Amino acid sequence: MMPGALGFDQWFAAQAAQRGLDACGVARISAVARGSYRIRDAARDVPAELSGRLAYRIASAADLPCVGDFVAADVSAEDAAAIIHQVLPRKTFLRRKRPGQGLDFQMIAANVDTAFLVQSCHFDFNPNRLERYLAMAGDGGVEPVVVLTKTDLITREDLEHKLDILRTVTRCSVIACSMVTGGGCDALARLLSPGRTYCLLGSSGVGKTTLLNRLVGREAFATQAVSSTGEGIHTTTRRQLAVLGNGAMVIDTPGMRELGVLGVDQGFDGGFEEIAALSAHCRYADCSHQGEPGCAVRVALENGELHHDRYANYLKLKKESEYHGMSSLEKRKKDRNFGRFLKSVKKRQDD
């Protein structure tokens, strides 16, 4: 792959060279669905599977190729299929805690420059969930942009109220748009630069695929009619990368019901910028902002500079992240200690 093609810049070229890979044998994962892959290079898009050696070396699900990854692959002479031999290091990533009780990551996309965090102005509008998406983007070094869709379903006054709420949640760019009226769509399209990769993140039915079709300029991906409430119906079942006419790339993803954070560290700087800024003025570098003397965050909370709901959600996500980020042994020990505490309380009550 030539430098610049599909986002394969000098950073990735250097990574390939360090591993002795011929850049001509590098392709990009263009789709992932239930363990099957498609890869794309400058000339073709073909189905692919892992080599036996790579599959054997995979230590966790997070090490599997995900959409947006650059991989070393051999394509058959007939361009009918390919074998993936190696995954190049990721410059950025989007990941979440795997749904359920496990402690593993689930990779959403890799090598993304900007994440479009999509929420509908109607029933889906949820600032607390948005904070989770912002933490996800910050964790992976991805620039966030909030996209509010379906502005045609609410009044101008309601829209302004929602925009005011978002200004208390994030300092990142916010674009409000409607696929019905076209309002805001040109502003969003102007953000898309050749050679850069964008990812659509959000719940089911918020209009991600409709938005992607609008950016592509045709009905390239299947959508369904909206429900009687005006909300969309879940359509996307796989993560897929589309290349726009100007050379920008957009990744569409299925809606996410669960958005757990797992061991996020730097991500909170992106999701809670004002708290991160206040933390720099705390007396202690490891301040937990829960009672230590000289805590600038608590001072801002008490004088009204920081909203109580915002602070409470910060503590909730931080606690969740730290808990999920513990090793399995630490987690079992914490659970056992809590179980002993409950038994002691029950015993005292019985006595």
> What DSSP element (H or E) covers 48?
strand 45-50
Asked if 297 and 283 touch (Cβ cutoff 8 Å), the reply is: no
Residues 86-100 have pLDDT tens digits of 999 999 999 887 665
d(CA 155, CA 105): 40
pLDDT at 229: 47
Long-range contact set of residues 327-334: C-beta below 8 Å, sequence gap at least 24: 328/103, 331/103
pLDDT at 270: 59
Given a cut of 70, is residue 337 above it in pLDDT?
no
Angle at 49 between CA 17 and CA 89, to 5 degrees: 30
Asked if 254 and 205 touch (Cβ cutoff 8 Å), the reply is: no
- Residue 52 identity: G
Residues 96-119 have pLDDT tens digits of 876 655 566 789 999 999 999 999
d(CA 215, CA 139): 27
d(CA 171, CA 111): 23
Asked if 319 and 268 touch (Cβ cutoff 8 Å), the reply is: no
What domains appear along the chain, each with residue ranges and CATH number? Answer: 5-87 (2.40.50.140), 93-252 (3.40.50.300), 267-341 (1.10.40.50)
Q: Model's pTM, two decimal places?
A: 0.79
Neighbours of 84 (CB within 10 A): 22
d(CA 320, CA 167): 25
* DSSP characters over 7-21: G--HHHHHHHHHTT-
Residues 226-281 have pLDDT tens digits of 444 444 444 545 789 999 989 999 999 887 765 655 555 555 555 687 888 888 89
Asked if 296 and 165 touch (Cβ cutoff 8 Å), the reply is: no
Residues in the chain: 351
Angle at 253 between CA 247 and CA 258, to 5 degrees: 150
Pick 45 or 235 by higher pLDDT.
45
Whose CA is closest to 200, among 279, 289, 275, 116? 116
CA–CA distance from 122 to each of 148, 177, 187, 231 (Å)?
A: 9, 12, 21, 8
